[in-house]
Chain A
Amino acid sequence: MPLQNYVTPHPYPGKLIIVEGIDGSGKSTQLDLLRKFLESEGHPVHFTEWNSSALVKDTTKKGKKKKSLTPTTFSILHCCDFAERLAYSIIPPLKGGMLVLADRYMYTAFARDVARGVSRKWVRNMYSYAPKPDIAFYFQITPEVSVQRILSGRPQLKYYEAGLDVMETDDPVESFSRFQGRIVGEYDEMVDEFGLTVIDGTRPIFTQQQEMRAIVDEKVGEYLEKSAPPRRAAASRRSSRKKAAPAKKTTRRKTSKTAG
């Protein structure tokens, strides 16, 4: 099917790295660490996150507040948000050769909206024109771990977040944990369908970050070599020369600090 962009590699010079996982899986923390590392290396990074476009943000908020969103409107609204970001914050930086980091991508909709009751085929069609990520990390944790982490940090679960609109129970914790269970089920099935890279989200933050960086290096290392050449070249030239120069700089800085 010609529509299915999302399973063939994109044609752009940039790279797209995305993270997925249920609430509390640690994906945002890990992406943030990766972003800081890549930026410090001098790569042109562009960050974008789920449900952040100005276009429908207020609409979604209003619908959530009134509890008037149905599984279908919830799903379409998130795709509106995605479509706008795709047109402005994802495709242009990819065309411009940038490294696009996305906190959640279409797989969030495939997992969450289906857990809410919309059809798999229908929601996949909606996103079928999205570019396939170069790396899609999936931070895997069990629903139990998610519940534990979320409840320890948040006083109250939100209505839609807990799936209270569809889970047929009034107990937020019960609803949340069952809803997360369904979402995990969908994610796990997508590992093969879309070739998601699984990271065990229960290990220490540092260990996960090391693994993430190794995978990034392995999969888009060639791109990274090219994307920040001047600084890298300069850095390696400096280090191959006498070590006296950087030492002097430090001394000078220290002196000026004392003087000020």
Chain B
Amino acid sequence: MAKRPPRWLGQGLSYAEIDDLPGRMIVLEGTDGVGRSAQIEMLSAWIESQGFGVVSTGWTRSRLMGPTIERAKSGHTLDARTFSLLYAADFADRLELQILPALRAGFVVVADRYVYTAFARDAVRGADPRWVRELFGFALEPDLVIYLDVDIDVLMPRILNGKGCTYWESGMDLKLADNIYDSCVAYQTQILEEFGKMSKEYGFDVVNASGPRENTQRAIRRRVQKVLDEIAAARGA
């Protein structure tokens, strides 16, 4: 199976070339606490064990913006629009300085969250979806987007056993409830709905993440295997 030519999600970066990207980009999307990190760790190890170089990248992890975003989150004073811009700066930094160079060099880039996270959060906050989509229009379209899907009643115990209901992950800025647990349930329910809508719009590969971790991992690997086969085929040719 031949790789389709690389495409931008929207307008793209007018000054960057993407004609020759031998690498592949795999994105794991899913809401807070669904278990993305554990899945990504297992997945990356597995891809490397098959002999492919992996570069992993994650939402808010850029050197430029990481500390700034942490600082911004520790205060509760920023509006949704400013947050989207902070995320966009973080993403642009990683895209240009990390993701694109890795793809040019033939790596498999595994991304923990992608621009869809910003779309979901903004939609729940009532922002005009066109604004944020145009803002992130410079994003590269991933080769594969795996969406880890769960129901809210499976998600809540995982959140509580993990980081717990934090201010932002409970959408406390939206004042959906007068206590953090109810707010978290209401907020995460809406986020799951937004991801559900986007699954169809963007054609995510939906993986049911309700069961044991190993089952989820197996389902993820089945999908990733196809991408790895493509790379191997391209090298053979």
Interface positions of A (Cβ within 8 A of B): 2-3, 55-56, 58-59, 62-63, 68-73, 76-77, 79-80, 83-84, 87, 117-119, 121-122, 125-126, 128-129
Inter-subunit contact B134/A125 (CB<8 Å): yes
How many residues on B have C-beta within 8 angstroms of the other chain's C-beta atoms?
A: 30
Q: Are A71 and B89 within 8 A (Cβ)? A: no
| 30 contacts across the A-B interface (CB closer than 8 A) | A2-B128, A3-B130, A3-B131, A55-B71, A55-B72, A55-B82, A56-B86, A56-B89, A58-B68, A59-B65, A59-B67, A59-B68, A68-B63, A69-B64, A71-B15, A73-B92, A73-B96, A76-B85, A76-B92, A79-B85, A80-B86, A83-B79, A83-B81, A84-B82, A87-B78, A118-B13, A119-B11, A121-B11, A121-B134, A128-B131
- What residue of chain B has the Cβ atom nearest to residue A57's Cβ? B68
Q: Is the pair A80, B93 in contact by a Cβ cutoff of 8 Å? A: no
At the interface, is chain A mostly helix, strand, loop or mixed?
A: helix
B-chain residues with CB within 8 Å of residue A117 when the two chains form the complex: 14-15
Residue numbers of B with Cβ under 8 A of A are 11, 13-15, 63-65, 67-68, 71-72, 78-79, 81-82, 85-86, 88-89, 92-93, 96-97, 128, 130-131, 134-135, 137-138
* Residue pair A83, B130 in contact (C-beta under 8 Å): no
Q: Which residues of chain A come closer than 8 Å to B71, judged between CB atoms? A: 55
| Contact in complex: B78, A84 (CB < 8 Å) | yes
Q: Are A68 and B14 in contact (CB under 8 A)?
A: no
Kindly provide the distance from the CB of A67 to the nearest chain B CB, expressed in whole angstroms. Answer: 12
Cβ of B138 and Cβ of A72 under 8 Å apart? yes
Q: Which residues of A contact B82 (CB under 8 A)?
A: 55, 80, 83-84, 87
Q: How far is the CB of B171 from chain A (nearest CB, A)?
A: 19
Q: A3-B131, A59-B64, A84-B78 are in contact. Are A73 and B85 (CB under 8 A)?
A: no
Q: Are A63 and B64 in contact (CB under 8 A)?
A: yes
Contacting residues, chain A, for B68 (C-beta < 8 A): 55-56, 58-59
On whether the beta carbons of B81 and A122 are closer than 8 Å, the reply is no
Nearest Cβ on chain A to B20's Cβ, whole angstroms = 19
